Chain A
Amino acid sequence: MSMPAEILAHPAIWRGNRPVAVSSPSLPTGFPALDAELSGGGWPTAALIEILPQHEGIGELRILGHALSRLTAQGRFLVWIAPPYLPYAPALRSACIDLARFILVKTRSPRETLWASEQALRSNACGAVLVWPQAANYAELRRLQIAAEGSPSVLAILFRSPQVARETTPAPLRLSLATAHGELAVRVLKRRGAPLVNPILLSPANRRVQRLSFTHHAVDRARFPSPAARIIPAGVNAV
């Protein structure tokens, strides 16, 4: 006996192949292929998002670029907590992130990192909180998840190492980033709704770098360079 249609249309019933409705608004990622696979059509807000890049420098920040620049354009603040390297200001400017809305927090221990993250998420003053926790167990992440749920519309992102993919996480969304044939392969390890088997391939932005030619060199020499600079020792290739 089949169920009547009006019972199946009830919002509390979820059928396995439909995306799950989310309560807080989602931020578009800027990649339509990724938006289609995320419930809500974008980055979920008021929830933790875990990003596990296989290597550094494959584009783990560039997939957030669109959402972050939209947030700063709306006047909301970005807080980056304990990043592994210095965020480079001119590059952030090129990515259309307003530097007046950027706050960098340096911490001295994993405990301070987690405390600062909780403060930033609970304060409801930030548009996005990006954290690089060196070490965090399930209970501590659960606290961050609860803090994120308390602030509607905050984008909370944790960058962790790929080894933690085997551990459980309270974050509703977990992505693993890798490269495949020069393209960025995003594997959705965990999301609200049905699991995704195939990775999503996104074309990276660095292809456009190869087409740039460096015709402008920044050469600013003193009038009388020191004589030692003119000597090229043997054995070094001159380009």
Chain B
Amino acid sequence: MSVAAASALAPQLNHRPRDPGIETAALAAIAIWAAQFTPVVSLEPPAGLLLEIEGSLKLLGGIDNVLQSIERGLQDMGYTAAIACAATATAAGLLARNGGSRVVIERSALEPVIAALPVTVLDCETSTRNTFAAIGAKRIGDLLRLPRDGLARRCGPRLLDTLDRALGKLPEARRSFTPPERFEVKLELAAEVMHSEALLFAAKRQLTQLAGFLAARGAGIQYFTFTLLHEVQNATVTGIGLVAPTRDLRHLITLTRERLAALTLRAPVRALQLTAGDIFTLAAGNYSLFQGSPHARGEWQQLVERLRARLGQDAVHGISARPDHRPEHAWYATQPGTKNMAIETRPRPLWLLEQPQPLPAIVSKPHYHNDALALIAGPERIESGWWDGADARRDYFIAQTPAHSTLWIYRERREPFGWYLHGIFG
């Protein structure tokens, strides 16, 4: 039926041209995700995927768990699938094409189940289908009862090979799918999105694929980037960094939600791309012999990552001391949790001003907020830093305001001479 006829029958019909390239890419993306269940994945284009899971059943906790995880993951990624499990790959393919999930484990139980399938599940040309209709073969069992040489002559040897492979009488060889080394997926959005919260739905699908990719390698990432592609303007790129490598899907989704909520979009987004950073091998969690939870990620790391996702990478950091005489160089920003060994013996203020504040000097006495400061300790001469151009030549004093606030001030001994406030003793 042509599109025009279909639209005439159903006016509210919504049609879109079919793009085989996107379909192939989607199948490859699902295959990358499915690699977490087994290393042996092969593609059955246009819309089929074969996983050999006998070897993984014990690790993944049984066939029911595996099927449930596969169903849930496909749902999170936004796909619907018919899943079937059988002793041979061809039989599983035929069962899946028939729809529904049937779990057939034994090789001996295959024949009656395959025989009950309709001939439409077989992948053959129209002439062969016409032959089936002409001879009245509705089920595969009817075909199996026919003489083999006659069937081979009428329908070609390929059909017989397929049936033999399904029943396990012929060995089958499939080309294995190799996942790529780097993870990068792009999703074209169905409609242009203006609100960053709506992007979370598409981002969740891509993060599910990323979690599967990492689980297949037993690895984690420490940095991932979302690229939001606009129609005309340059793409918006936002990166999220983590304190330690992880592949925990829930945590990645939380961080992405915070980051997208803090993002303001300059233009509507038409596509979303996720690129994973470097991959680090993660040691698998050990389950203890007795009851107890496996080694958990530090909660403070999750807090830091959550804060960074919303406030920015540089908004959260630890501090460390450096052995430098110049106060502004004696500290530096680090990752929280970095050990530090420097010791300071002289009295130093708890608060340091980022920019020393000039103090007016009346009768050559420094004043702070119109109060004369009393110098109670000092001077401490600091002359240092000639090697990197930020040399300092100052005399530091500890001063007190009439309200007994204790301040750390200095007198500059070069141009421009004057008094400056550098710290406050909290």
Contacts and interface: CB of A to CB of B under 8 A. Distances in A.
A55 B342 CA distance: 31
Contacts of B385: 220
B318 A103 contact: yes
B351 A94 contact: no
Given A90-B348, A93-B321, A93-B343, A214 B315 contact: no
A212 B347 contact: yes
Interface residues of A, number: 64
B350 A61 contact: yes
Contacts of A102: 318-319, 336
B304 A103 contact: yes
Interface residues of B, number: 73
Contacts of B340: 89, 93, 99-100
Interface in B346-374: 346-354, 364
Interface in A194-239: 204, 206, 209-210, 212, 214, 216-222, 228-229, 233, 236-237, 239
Interface in A17-66: 54-62
Given A105-B316, A239-B379, A229 B414 contact: yes
B331 interface: yes
B388 to A, nearest CB: 11
A76 to B, nearest CB: 9
Contacts, number: 209
Q: Most B CB atoms within 10 A — which of A100, A108, A204?
A: A100
A123 B251 CA distance: 14
Interface in A128-147: none
B377 A100 contact: no
Nearest to A99: B340
Interface string B378-392: 111111111100010
Contact of B307 (A60, A90, A105, A214): A105
A209 to B, nearest CB: 5
A237 B321 CA distance: 34
Interface in B306-351: 306-307, 310-311, 314-321, 325, 327, 330-333, 336-340, 342-351
Contact of B348 (A91, A116, A123): A91
Interface string B79-107: 00000000000000000000000000000
Given A88-B351, A99-B320, A100-B338, 13 more contacts: A56-B351, A57-B405, A58-B404, A86-B351, A88-B348, A99-B318, A101-B337, A119-B306, A179-B404, A217-B383, A218-B382, A220-B385, A222-B391
Interface stretch (B30-38, B233-241, B417-425): B417-425
Nearest to B422: A88
Given A86-B354, A100-B318, A125 B381 contact: no
A104 interface: yes
